[in-house]
Amino acid sequence: MTPDSALTKPVAFHVTRYNPERDPAPSIQTFSVPVREGMTVLDGLHFIKENLDATLTWRYSCRMGICGSCGMLLNGRPSLACNTQVLHIATAELAVAPLPNFRIIRDLIPDLRPMFENHRKLKPFILRGADGEINDPSGEFFQSPEQLEAYLQFAYCIKCGCCMAACPTLATDERYLGPMPLAAAHRYDQDSRDDGRKARSPVAGGAHGAFRCHYAGECSRVCPKGVDPAKAIQRLKRQLVLDYLRLARKKTPCQKLHGPGAGPPLPNIPAAPPKTAG
Amino acid sequence: MRETRFWTWHMAAGVVIFFLLGMHMLIMHTGLLGHVYAPFAGEAVSRENSQFRDSRLTFTVSYIFLLGFALYHGLYGLRTILFELTLRPAVEKVVRAVLVLLGVGLFGLGVWAAIGARTMAAVGARG
What is the radius of gyration, based on Cα positions, of chain A? 23
Residue A2: what pLDDT?
A: 53
- For chain A, strand residue ranges (E) read 8-17, 27-36, 71-74, 77-80, 93-97, 104-106, 109-110, 139-141, 256-258
Q: How many CA atoms lie within 13 A of A191 on its CB side?
A: 21
ipTM value: 0.81
- Domain boundaries along the sequence of chain B: 2-126
CA distance B41 to chain A (A): 47
**pLDDT attached to residue B93:** 95
pLDDT of residue A6: 65
Sketch the domain layout of chain A as residue ranges.
9-110, 113-257
- Name A124's Cβ contacts closer than 8 Å, sequence gap at least 6: A181, A184, A185, A187, A188
Is there a contact between B85 and A202 if contact means CB atoms under 8 Å apart? no
Closest A-chain CA to B83: A173
Residues of A in contact with B7 (CB under 8 A): 205, 211, 237, 241
| Chain A residues whose beta carbon lies within 8 Å of the beta carbon of residue B3 | 205-207, 209, 211
CA gap A54, A57 in Å, rounded: 8
Find chain B residues with C-beta within 8 A of A237's C-beta: 7
CB contact under 8 A, B4 and A207: no
Mean pLDDT of all residues belonging to chain B: 89
B88 touches chain A (CB under 8 A): no
Contacts of A113 (CB under 8 A, 6+ apart): none
- Is residue A1 over pLDDT 50? no
B27 falls in which pLDDT band (50, 70, 90)? confident
- pLDDT confidence band for B30 (50 / 70 / 90): confident
Q: What is Dmax (Cα atoms) for chain B?
A: 58
pLDDT in tens, A3-33: 566 689 999 999 999 999 999 999 999 999 9
**Are the C-beta atoms of B120 and B54 separated by less than 8 Å?**
yes
Per-residue pLDDT tens digits for A90-128: 999 999 999 999 999 999 999 999 999 999 999 999 998
Task: Enumerate the H helices of A156-258 as residue ranges.
Answer: 162-166, 168-172, 179-189, 197-204, 218-222, 229-244
Flag whether pLDDT at A277 surpasses 90: no
R_g over Cα of chain B: 18
Residue B1 at interface with chain A, using a CB cutoff of 8 Å: yes
Q: What is the mean pLDDT of residues A48-77?
A: 97
Burial of A34 (0-12, 13-18, 19+ CB in 10 A): middle
Please, are residues A127 and A196 in contact by the beta-carbon 8 Å criterion? yes
Mean pLDDT of A75-95: 97
Residue B4 has its nearest CB partner, among A169, A172, A240, at A240
Q: What letter would DSSP give residue A40? A: B
Is the pLDDT confidence value at A160 over 90?
yes
A211 touches chain B (CB under 8 A): yes
The CATH label, of 3.10.20.30, 3.20.20.220, 3.40.309.10, 3.40.605.10, for the domain at A9-110 is 3.10.20.30
CA distance A89 to A92: 10
Q: Is the minimum CB–CB distance between A172 and chain B shorter than 8 Å?
A: yes
**Does domain B2-126 sit in CATH 1.20.1300.10?**
yes
Query: Which pLDDT score, from 0 to 100, does residue A121 have?
Result: 97
DSSP class of residue A249 equals P
B75-79 average pLDDT score:
96
**Mean pLDDT of all residues in B6-19:** 96
SS3 A20: coil
Whether A130 shows a pLDDT value over 60: the answer reads yes
User: Rounded to an integer, what distance in angstroms lies between the CA atom of residue B127 and that of residue B118?
Assistant: 14
Q: Closest Cα of chain B to A174: distance in Å?
A: 6
Q: How far apart are CA A176 and CA A117, in angstroms?
A: 12
DSSP string, chain B: -HHHHHHHHHHHHHHHHHHHHHHHIIIIII-TTHHHH--SSS-TTSHHHHHHHHTSHHHHHHHHHHHHHHHHHHHHHHHHHHHTT---HHHHHHHHHHHHHHHHHHHHHHHHHHHHHHHHHHHHHH-
Cα–Cα distance for residue pair A112/A68, rounded to 1 Å? 11
Asked whether residue B21 carries a pLDDT value surpassing 70, the answer given is yes
Q: Under an 8 A CB cutoff, do B80 and A201 touch?
A: no
**Bigger pLDDT: A124 vs A249:** A124
CA B43 to chain centre: 22
For the segment A207-212, the average pLDDT, to the nearest whole number, is 95
Tell whether the model's pLDDT for residue A260 goes beyond 70: no
Burial degree of B34 (CB within 10 A; 0-12, 13-18, 19+) = middle
- Give how far A205 is from chain B: nearest CA, Å: 6
Supply the pLDDT for residue A110.
Answer: 98
Coil, strand, or helix at residue A223?
coil
For residues B48 and B38, give the distance between their C-alpha atoms in angstroms, rounded to a whole number.
8
Write the Ramachandran bin of A8: left for phi over 0, alpha for psi from -120 to 50, otherwise beta. Answer: beta
Q: Residue B84 is nearest to which of A172, A241, A245, comparing CB atoms?
A: A172
> Strand, coil or helix: what is A239?
helix
pLDDT bin (cut points 50, 70, 90) of residue B52 is confident
d(CA A26, CA B80): 32
* Residue B125, pLDDT score: 62
**Fold for the domain defined by A113-257:** Fumarate Reductase Iron-sulfur Protein; Chain B, domain 2 (1.10.1060)
Check CB contact under 8 Å for A245 and B86. Answer: no
Contact present, B27 and B38 (Cβ < 8 Å)? yes
CA distance B72 to chain A (A): 16
Report the mean per-residue pLDDT for chain A: 93
